[in-house]
């Protein structure tokens, strides 16, 4: 039983979602991370931290991206209402 083969991919997607790509890479990191965690729980692979960390970073990146979009939208609504 070895490390999950998509662990590094999930970690990279999670980091990218936090750094630059937001939900475009965060959502795939979350979906792939959930699937990998279920495979790890089923005993197919050894437990690794890369999958967990990548999934958590994907969640954080997605949430920050959505919050940023909301702030951006509110800013422009307020800007348009003041004109």
Token pair 């437990």 is found at 47
- Is the confidence at residue 82, as pLDDT, over 90? no
Domain ranges of the chain: 7-81
Q: 36 near 50, Cβ under 8 Å?
A: no
Mean predicted confidence (pLDDT) in 47-67:
94
* Rounded Cα–Cα distance for residues 1 and 19 (Å): 32
pTM: 0.88
Q: 13 near 35, Cβ under 8 Å?
A: no
Band of residue 47 on the pLDDT scale cut at 50, 70, 90: confident
Q: 52 near 33, Cβ under 8 Å?
A: yes
* pLDDT tens per residue across span 26-39: 999 999 999 999 99
């Amino acid at each position: 039983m070895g490390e999950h083969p998509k662990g590094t991919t999930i970690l990279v997607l999670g980091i990218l979602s936090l750094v630059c790509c937001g939900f475009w890479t965060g959502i795939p990191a979350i979906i792939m991370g959930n699937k990998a965690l279920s495979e790890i729980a089923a005993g197919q692979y050894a437990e690794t931290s890369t999958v967990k960390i990548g999934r958590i970073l994907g969640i954080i990146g997605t949430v920050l991206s959505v919050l940023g979009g909301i702030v951006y939208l509110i800013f422009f609504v307020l800007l348009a209402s003041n004109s």
